[in-house]
Amino acid sequence: MTTHTPTNSAPSISVFPTHRVSKIDRNIYSGFTEHMGRCIYTGIYDPTNPNKDLITTEGFRKDVLEALRPLDIPVFRYPGGNFCATYHWQDGIGPRDQRPARPELAWGNIESNHFGTDEFMAWCKAVNAEPYLCLNFGTGTLDEAMAWLEYCNGTKDTYYANLRRKNGHTEPYNVKYWALGNEMWGDWQLNQMTQEAYADRAFQWAKALKLLDPTIQLILCGKEGPTSWDYHTLKHCLRPAGLSDLGEERFPLVDMHSIHIYTASEDHYENVTAPLAAERAIEVCSSLIDLAFVENKLPPTQKRPTICFDEWNVWSPPRAPGSAGAEEVYTLSDALAVAVWLNVFVRKSKDVGMACIAQSVNVISPLMTNEKGIVKQTTWWPYELFCRFMKGHTIAVHVACDAYTGPTKPNWVRATKETPWLDVSATVDDDGYVTVCVVNMHLDSDLKTAFAGPAGVKVTVYSITGSDAKGTNMAGKEEVGMTESEWDSSKDADFVFPKCSVTMLRWKIT
């Protein structure tokens, strides 16, 4: 929780490590790998790369694995996105030379199916993450979805569990997270649905899937959070699913509600304040979850679903179209926007059970590959710092500073959120480290800030900035990097947050 008081005088930040607001689910640092552009092929799987030293025996990019491993990314969503709507998982298992190539309609490609379920599970193991699978609500059937669940998790002597064993995978994959379709509201979606049609189908599929494996977590396909689609689907699906033969009510069916938002603007201030729309969306969506509880008269014992923000990032589709691979080139301004996005997830940790940056490699991604190696884009640095340090509990912070008052995108951010020059979140982890992330959005002013919290200790400072808000890391030179230094807070209680920067301050409490 971060509170803000507008002031024209010198800014101040007060951090309250003993005031724990809520536990952070590490799943807010999850990733997303879709069969889209160069994310899977040449991004994570590149068996034909001429540089054999770069590739594992399974065909995975070693440099990508080595870059991602230290981030300890907990979950990867797969195989889409929009790709799911025509994906038949059985095309992607068994001997590779017998797998069919298919037209891929979301992004206009040919899908070779050389990378499928078993390869994805092996890749998750290699990067030490859990898989999260998205079901085909476009051209797929419930039978097919249940077969996929049985293939992944089945332990008995049944057809699809045996097929997995026949393909060389004796142990079940125990896939916990399953999404009930992707963006089924969108007019770009194959078999786009009305909210009523989707909610009916999701409820019935959820019932069947949970009968087959009650241990899984199901993620409902919401929209952006504050929409009638979100209201209707929650209202329809957050209700009891009938009685078991023992007369017990069968619920809950839905464990999380998914929402997606992408932000972007060529204007720096619109760009960096846009993620605050996501903060408001989380607040409204969280209220819709409560409203479904109230209207459906659910008992207090019912587990309250969290929000699964399973696609978020800076993305302008006209600038980097999906059909052309969506290879966004990120600027310093975008790095600030990503830090604001992550501040939002930390501030809203009570409501957000998972968030997946879209995407993890090459497609609208902080991490890019070429034939020879990788490039860490500007947005890599805030993502890395949050994954490494912002864990444990969200703690209370108070910020007093002047605010940006110009236009926002969407314009309703202006009406519903404050936009202080300093965007802040703070955490305390289980080892007693306090970490505070401060984004100074101002393009022209360094902000000298009275910083109350560290109480005379040495503070490690991680700083992300550059000489130009439009600076990138893609043209062969790194214009935006991360530096580490130390601040002795016993000598000076003021800290200067440089203009257009992300600063992470970290110290240990006794």
Catalytic site residue from 119, 311, 328, 384: 311
150 is catalytic: no
The torsion defined by the Cα of 481, 486, 490 and 492, in degrees rounded to 10, comes to: -40
Q: What is the 3-state secondary structure (H, E, C) of 318-352?
A: CCCCHHHCCCCCCEHHHHHHHHHHHHHHHHCCCCE
State yes or no: residue 473 binds ligand AHR (CB under 6 A): no
* C-alpha pair distances (Å), 231 with each of 124, 301, 348, 505: 34, 22, 20, 39
Query: Looking at 77-85, 273-281, 375-383, 440-448, which segment touches ligand AHR (CB under 6 A)?
Result: 77-85
One of 80, 140, 252, 471 touching ligand AHR (CB under 6 A): 80
Query: Exactly one of 63, 111, 183, 213 binds ligand AHR (CB under 6 A); which one?
Result: 183
Q: Which is nearer to ligand AHR, 310 or 351 (CB)?
A: 310
Structure tokens at 182: 């992707």
Per CB under 6 A, the segment of 46-54, 76-84, 114-122, 333-341 that binds ligand AHR is 76-84
**Nearest partner of 426 among 459, 453, 457, 463, judged by Cα:** 453
Tell me how far, at minimum, the Cβ of 363 lies from ligand AHR, in Å: 7
The residue annotated as part of the active site, out of 183, 270, 279, 328, is 183
Q: How far apart are CA 325 and CA 136, in angstroms?
A: 21
* Residue (41 or 160) nearer to ligand AHR, CB: 41
CB of 224 to ligand AHR, least distance (A): 11
* Residue 82 binds ligand AHR (CB under 6 A): yes
**Near ligand AHR by CB under 6 A: residue from 12, 25, 34, 241:** 34
State the Cα–Cα distance between residues 364 and 34, nearest whole angstrom. 11
For ligand AHR, which is the closer residue by CB, 188 or 412? 188
Q: 462 and 486 in contact (C-beta within 8 Å)?
A: no
CA distance to 201, 244, 334, 358, 475, per residue, from 313 (Å): 29, 42, 9, 6, 22
Instruction: Give the shortest CB-188-to-ligand AHR separation in angstroms.
Output: 7
Q: Read out DSSP for 156-183?
A: SS-HHHHHHHHTT--S-----EEES-S-
Q: Which of 12, 182, 263, 379 binds ligand AHR (CB under 6 A)?
A: 182
The encoded tokens of residue 250 equal 């069968």
* Alpha-carbon 147 to chain mean position: 27
CB of 115 to ligand AHR, least distance (A): 16
Q: Is 183 a catalytic residue?
A: yes
**Rule CB under 6 A: which residues touch ligand AHR?**
34, 36, 80-82, 182-183, 311, 322, 358-359
Catalytic positions are 183, 311
